[in-house]
Amino acid sequence: MSDPTATAHAPRWSHEPLEETLDGARRLTVSVADRMVRGGWEALAIEAGISRRRWRAHHPLVGDDARVIELVDGRPAFDTAAWERVASLAAGAVALPSRTADSLGVARSALRPPGRLPLRIVDLVRARRVRARRRRGERTLDADHARHAAAVERAVATALAAGDDGSALVTLPPYALAARLELLLDATREWSFPAFVDLAASDATTRLLRLLGERDFDPGPAFLRAAELQAGGGIVMPAHLEALAAIDDAPVDDQAALLAAWADGAAGWHAARDLLLEAPPLRADLAAARRVATATRGATPSADDDAAPGDDELPNHDPPLRDAAVRARRLTAMRELVARDRATHVAGIRALVWSLAQSLHSSGATNRVDDVFDLQVGELLRLARGGEAAAASVASQPGASNVDSPDELGDPGSDDVVREVRGIPASHGRGSGRVVVLEDPSLDVDVDGAVLVCRVTDPAWLPLMVRCAALVTERGGPLSHAAIVARELGLPTVVGAAGARAAARHAERASVDGGSGVVAFDPAP
């Protein structure tokens, strides 16, 4: 029998899942991210073996007022209870609860299937069908990704195309820009490939961890070993950065024209923080765009290399473990490619938002261009279509519970000097140098040969990561963006080092041991 109260939903907000992607986001970005996640979860439900009837009957995201991402205490927060409901509805939640919970990243105790439960044998058959379909899909992974990437690029190119009379995007009327924005947001519902890759990669990681456990690895070392085995898939330079970097090889007289042509295309709209709509597009700062491309140029390995980095780490003496590692490595690399597709998609949304913001400001609908970032996306669309926007408010949401407290950076004037912090060893090797503490990857700061200390990283930090001697982040684990990219680059890295920024502010130099997770600071004189 199922729990009769299981269909009730009480949000349980947590800031932690969004710290690498939405830290510092304002109201518009949060509402757009929420809309995209809810649309994407409908595709994910199909991949997880959840019938449409069961999804519509029991998932809290079905209602128009549902939210999975919201501003809570002024910071973006994620409803972890909503994700637990997804896991509870997935095929296998009744017959294979431990495996289902591990694959979807929730505790087994969080699985509470609502409504009328399927028979265990029926649920087992469904779970095996989902698994078989996933394995079949992995055989055509590269071709399916090529189709998905092409669909994303077409949608973005269509959304950013000039008007029928050749007029520039920013000169189109607000209602026309709003229609393009809504179409680009709704496109998320048509793309099931990212959900497939996420579930397949999660399943591959779960299997790898299970095999390591069977070989007497303790949970902590097993997790780090799994992360190491998944590295080596290769990080490929995004095509738009390849094209931009090539400008430096052109004759000086041609560089300005080439840069302008690049900026006018969809690729030119990529910004430093790929999910923050508030971040000005790189097109708005062509000098910054060139710095990004030049710093990244030649620093990342190609997937076409004969021997991917880390091949010597594969356990060739243990065929089942080796096969699991190869599968996990391939799917982890594909997740990075899908993240690039997402960046392209969001870049198109950002371009439309900024053009719409300028158009509304020019028409007198807003006092400042960036006023739109304090509106919900629905309010922005109504304003663009001639309606009125509700008064923007970033006040704390009522009823929030179990919310992490904001990080404390510490008092820079304090006499307490921390000489050492410990975190999670994420990438082997040792590095030392002067200390550079950064909050924003878009800052033009010299990090060559330095120990870079920050809260979290995202794809925007790559140009800095390829130049520093070592990396320390306060958040993240062995499978965070910082850890995965650092292992590809051979960059000594420690993640999850709480208090690192506060300690670094009192230090002149630091030494990082990526194998032990120890970061030692030399206090400034």
- How many whole angstroms separate alpha carbon 468 and alpha carbon 436? 9
Percent of the chain with pLDDT over 70: 75
Same domain for 3 and 125, yes or no, is yes
Same domain flag for 125 and 146? no
CA angle 128, 132, 136 (to 5 degrees): 170
Residue 391 has pLDDT above 70, yes or no: no
279 belongs to a structural domain: no
Domain membership of residue 205 (yes or no) is yes
pLDDT at 3: 45
Do 352 and 429 belong together in one domain? no
How far apart CA 162 and CA 184 sit, in angstroms, is 16
Residue 326 has pLDDT above 50, yes or no: yes
Residue 404 in any domain: the answer is no
Structure tokens at 419: 């000489």
Domain end among 388, 408, 436? 388
Q: What is the dihedral of CA 455, 456, 459, 461, to 10 degrees?
A: 30
507 shares its domain with 451: yes
Is residue 295 in a domain?
A: no
Average pLDDT over residues 165-186: 84
In a domain, 268, yes or no: no
Share of the chain above pLDDT 90, in %: 19
Residues 355 and 470 in one domain: no
Q: What is the pLDDT at residue 146?
A: 92
Task: Please tell me whether residues 7 and 147 are part of one structural domain.
Answer: no
Give pTM, 2 decimals. Answer: 0.72
pLDDT at 437 (0 to 100): 93
Query: Does one domain contain both 110 and 183?
Result: no
- Domain check: are 212 and 340 in the same one? yes
Residue 54: is its pLDDT beyond 60? yes
Cα separation, 448 vs 433, whole angstroms: 9
Q: Each residue of 293-330: b (16+ CB within 10 Å) or e? A: bebbbeebbeeeeeebbbeeebbeeeeebeebbbbbbb
Total domains, the chain: 3
Do 51 and 32 fall within a single domain? yes
Sign of CA dihedral 407, 412, 416, 422: positive
Domain span at 112: 1-129
What CATH number is attached to the domain comprising 509?
Answer: 3.50.30.10
- Residue 275 has what DSSP assignment? T
Shared domain check, 148 and 111? no
CA–centroid distance for 289 within its chain: 21
Q: Is residue 108 part of a domain?
A: yes
pLDDT (0 to 100) of residue 61: 75
Whether residue 221 is found in the same domain as residue 339? yes
3-state helix, strand, coil in the chain (%, to 5): 50, 10, 40
Between 80-89 and 97-104, two packed helices, what is the crossing angle to 10 degrees?
140
Tell me: pLDDT of 410 over 60.
Answer: no
* Torsion from C-alpha of 116, 117, 122, 127, nearest 10 degrees: 120
pLDDT of residue 78: 92
Question: Do 133 and 125 touch, CB atoms closer than 8 A?
Answer: no
Query: Is residue 405 assigned to a domain?
Result: no
* Residues contacting residue 256 through CB under 8 Å, at least 6 positions apart: none
- Burial of 140 per CB tally in 10 Å (0-12, 13-18, 19+): exposed
- 29 DSSP β-pair partners: none
Span of 258-262, 380-384, 423-427, 473-477 with lowest mean pLDDT: 258-262
Identify whether residues 317 and 186 lie together within a single domain: yes
Indicate if the pLDDT at residue 482 is higher than 50.
yes
Reading the block at residue 353, the tokens are 């938002």
Q: Return the structure tokens found at 498.
A: 């709480």
The sign of the torsion formed by the CA atoms of 100, 103, 109, 115 equals: negative
Greater confidence, 26 or 103? 26
Last residue of a domain, one of 71, 103, 129: 129
Measured over the CA atoms of residue 336, residue 338, residue 344 and residue 347, the dihedral's sign is negative
Question: pLDDT at residue 293 above 70?
Answer: no
Residue 120, domain member (yes or no)? yes
The last residue of one of the domains, among 101, 129, 157, is: 129
